[in-house]
Amino acid sequence: MNQLNKNITIMQKNSKIYIAGHTGLVGSAIVKKMQSEGYTQLILRDRSQLDLLDQAKVAEFFYKERPEYVIDAAAKVGGIKANMTLSAEFLYENLQIQNNIIWSAFKYNVKKLVFLGSSCVYPKDSIQPIKEEYLLAGKPEITNEGYSIAKIAGIKLCEKIYSEYDRKFISCMPTNIYGPGDNFNPESSHVIPSLIRKIHDAKLASLPEVTLWGSGSPRREFLHVDDLANAVLWLMNNYEDKDFLNIGTGKDVSIKELAFLLKEIIGYKGNILWDTSRPDGMARKLLDVSKIESLGWKSTITLNDGLKKTYQWYKDNLN
């Protein structure tokens, strides 16, 4: 790992910066962070304005807008249930989206691109904590294989463009992300919003118990979305090596511990039961974040504080 390159081109406050996926959890947090830092020429398009699955439309957009920098936070995402039932869609759509963005960015001379991958890319049986070099050292977890393979392809496309053309197309590997603005749909949500909704609903209904998926024993690492937005901006202005970097807290928690923490935050008095007929996924997924921390970035939002903020947002935004 190289040390930080002091000759990196810094984005100017008036640089043209395209943030793909700006309406999603991660993209919206990045927009908020960059606006707060004074960036004035953010290029934003929602799905009705630009269908990222349409190669010709994406190429036309890049030809007309000519962004100088690109942050690719666009993806089809979902929890374990969605990933298992829509594996083909997760593979196809994510390949299409990222290929269209990355290749058009290359074709129309974008100075620098950051592609957001996912910790799902790592093999199911990775040694813990997971180092960047463990990528492709084994088979992915079957419950999110489609999404994982697509993200690996995106990482490798950026690496090949970097190696072949010396273009600063880099990637980062965030751990599990949560925060205000998350998806709380029970059919497609990730673990934290899913637990918040189930436990909150059980409290409102005065249910004596609530049943959650799996055994509760898997351990996961969670990063608040505002920490990730901070990290992405830091990467854009401080890092441009070809090697991708993990982004996380370096700390994990069991799903059972997470559920009881949320139970306390929400104020639910009933019992939590576990449906062990449901899949657990990987037994543990903790990223080794020593590389990015050695370069100068570190998460600052604790899990307890982040969960309180997320639950408050959920209550404030209930229909």
Active site members: 147
- Buried-exposed string 128-143: b where 16+ CB fall within 10 A, e elsewhere: bbbbbebbeeeebbeb
Tokens of 151: 């993200």
Is residue 228 within 8 Å of residue 29, measured between CB atoms?
A: yes
User: What is the DSSP-derived secondary structure letter of residue 132?
Assistant: G
Other CB atoms within 10 Å distance of the CB of residue 277: 7
* Residue in the block written with tokens 């100017």: 12
- Buried-exposed string 183-196: b where 16+ CB fall within 10 A, e elsewhere: bbeeebbbbbbbbb
Tokens of 296: 């100068």
* Residue in the block written with tokens 């180092």: 131
CA distance 310 to 314: 6
* Residue in the block written with tokens 């055994």: 215
Torsion angles phi and psi, residue 211, rounded to 5: -105, 130
Other CB atoms within 10 Å distance of the CB of residue 292: 25
Identity of the amino acid at 302: T
CA 99-101-102 angle, to 5 degrees, is: 65
* Exposed / middle / buried, residue 8 (Cβ in 10 Å: 0-12, 13-18, 19+): middle
Q: Name beta bridge partners: 70.
A: 18, 113
Tokens of 119: 């910790």
* Residue in the block written with tokens 């590389």: 291
